Amino acid sequence: MAKDVKGIMILKGEDIAGWYEQVCLKSEVADFGPSKGTMVIRPRGYFIWEQIQKFFNENIVDKFGVENAYFPLFIPESFFAKEASHAEGFAPEVAWLDKELTGDGERLAVRPTSETIMYDSYSKWIRSYKDLPLKINQWCNVVRWETEATKLFMRSREFLWQEGHCVYETFDECEADTLNYIKAYQNLASELLAIPTILGQKSEKEKFAGADHTYTIEAFMPDGKALQCGTSHHLGDGFGKAFGVKYVGKDEKEHTPFQNSWGLSTRLIGGMIMTHSDDKGLVLPPKVARNKIVIVPLLFKGKEEGVLKVARDLKKKLKKFGVILDDRAEYKPGAKFGEWEMKGVPLRVEIGPRDVEAGEVVVVKRNDGEKISIKVGDVVGEIPGILDRMHDEMLAKAEKFFSEKVVDVSSVEDFEKVIKDKGIVRMNWCGDSDCEVKIKEKTGATTRCMPIKKSEVGSRKSEVEAGEGKCLFCGKENSCLIYFSRTY
């Protein structure tokens, strides 16, 4: 490790929270902000967010005909009151502007989410069925006044996200897209970030405040806690009624349209770091790494020039991979290896005098340490395949971990044991909110989601997969399948 750069001092297996914070800070993806609950996303971290934005804009915004826009940060207090359960859901965490600013006017909230302010505009813009569907997304910052301890990317008073808000003539049309978006999120998580997730419907208790129903993708972290990675809410026509969103249909009568809202945030970056990184530091899925390769020449006295010539030549050829040539004379190779491993550069290319003689280089994969000897002339051609393989390996490893964590249980004792062992429970459940509360009180676990019937996906409000017996806890009939775990 280069002088002044200290490595990760905490082991992932011993203190995952401490380890995670060190990885974020020392790999320079993020830092704490000066006031409580805030964070700085440093360039190495923001690059990851830009890749998420790019993937999202290409594969979701463009694909589904959504348009990006921008709505105000400040929301009048009266807007929250219009949809009662929404207001209640967000009340505890809203940050307000100093009253003196608005004089005798009403209080202004810093947006915790933008349903209310966007639908106020929609009520002015939408007149006829010809204006539908209306599909708008915004990239912005939101504020929720958390009181629990700050966790970089995972829990902070301000975070960055996108929120999509669409309006449709029919419930079914809205439902189809609500599912399209959550499936697109699942695809983004696995294709870009190598994070496997389960897709399902939230329980009544856990659904979005004001929604008809909510779909979610949930990832599972190494400590057995679930991380909600993206949600898509079918809002029914409740918000439309509350905000006076109406359209005149082909039948020349006035109707209230159906709406959905859906979001994913910088929290996803936290989930990615926690899933893949190790005791040496950051491990990045290659697609989101700005510097995909570092070349470390092994310099022995008198043989420097031959090695550096090959290194400099390779650097030119690997430019599109954001290659770094670490030719600093003052550090030993081992120190350089440690620094770039900690910062999560996916591939290290080692070039020593013997390699030069053999016309080869050694390529080392960050995810598993595998070393590959490659002829110098083949490096440029082979790199893309190696990076793709690394992505697949990281995803497969995470999928294996996840599938081993899920346990089908058939008794309350088993349930408690699985949760205690940091596992995920899959079981039959009645769907009752009271039962859910009791389970949480007894075990600390909450519902993640109910898998939805594959046959129904995309057609209409999907039904959840039926269980094969009574509710494990309360014994009620007509159960459904559900996942329980502890959560972030």
Cβ atoms < 10 Å from Cβ of 25: 15
Going by DSSP bridges, is the β-strand pair 258-265/158-168 parallel, antiparallel, or unpaired?
antiparallel
Q: Minimum distance between the CB of residue 247 and a second copy, rounded to whole angstroms?
A: 13
| Beta strand residue intervals within 206-302, DSSP E | 213-220, 225-236, 247-248, 254-255, 258-265, 293-297
- In the bound state with a second copy, the residue whose beta carbon lies nearer, of 12 and 82, is 82
Q: Minimum distance between the CB of residue 25 and a second copy, rounded to whole angstroms?
A: 11
- In the bound state with a second copy, the residue whose beta carbon lies nearer, of 95 and 406, is 95
Q: Minimum distance between the CB of residue 346 and a second copy, rounded to whole angstroms?
A: 19
Q: Angle at Cα 51 formed by Cα 48 and Cα 54, nearest 5°? A: 155
- In the bound state with a second copy, the residue whose beta carbon lies nearer, of 43 and 381, is 43
| C-alpha dihedral (264, 266, 268, 274), degrees to nearest 10 | -160
- In the bound state with a second copy, the residue whose beta carbon lies nearer, of 75 and 154, is 75
Paired with 484 in beta bridges are 425, 447
Cβ atoms < 10 Å from Cβ of 100: 6
Q: Minimum distance between the CB of residue 269 and a second copy, rounded to whole angstroms?
A: 11
Cβ atoms 105, 200 nearer than 8 A: no
> How many Å apart are CA 258 and CA 87, to the nearest integer?
19
* CB contact set of 251 (below 8 Å; sequence gap of 6+): none
Q: Minimum distance between the CB of residue 82 and a second copy, rounded to whole angstroms?
A: 12
Cβ atoms 200, 404 nearer than 8 A: no
Q: Minimum distance between the CB of residue 125 and a second copy, rounded to whole angstroms?
A: 8
> Where do contacts with a second copy occur on this chain (CB under 8 A)?
4, 31, 33-36, 38-43, 45-47, 49-50, 67-76, 79, 95-99, 101-102, 105, 108, 110, 117, 120-121, 124-125, 127, 136, 140-141, 143, 145, 157-158, 160
Q: Which amino acid is at 481?
A: L
| C-alpha dihedral (333, 337, 339, 340), degrees to nearest 10 | 130
- In the bound state with a second copy, the residue whose beta carbon lies nearer, of 13 and 105, is 105
- In the bound state with a second copy, the residue whose beta carbon lies nearer, of 95 and 412, is 95
Going by DSSP bridges, is the β-strand pair 347-351/293-297 parallel, antiparallel, or unpaired?
parallel
- In the bound state with a second copy, the residue whose beta carbon lies nearer, of 21 and 465, is 21
Q: Residue for token digits 């770094």?
A: 324
- In the bound state with a second copy, the residue whose beta carbon lies nearer, of 70 and 300, is 70
> How many Å apart are CA 221 and CA 218, to the nearest integer?
10
Q: Minimum distance between the CB of residue 231 and a second copy, rounded to whole angstroms?
A: 22
Q: Minimum distance between the CB of residue 142 and a second copy, rounded to whole angstroms?
A: 10
Q: Residue for token digits 């494990």?
A: 472
Report the phi/psi class of residue 305: left, alpha or beta, with left for phi > 0 and alpha for psi in -120 to 50: alpha
Q: Minimum distance between the CB of residue 283 and a second copy, rounded to whole angstroms?
A: 21
- In the bound state with a second copy, the residue whose beta carbon lies nearer, of 259 and 367, is 259
Residue 133, preceding peptide bond in cis (omega within 30° of 0):
yes
Among candidate residues 391, 105, 412, 130, the one with its CA nearest the CA of residue 275: 391
Q: Minimum distance between the CB of residue 139 and a second copy, rounded to whole angstroms?
A: 9
- In the bound state with a second copy, the residue whose beta carbon lies nearer, of 49 and 321, is 49
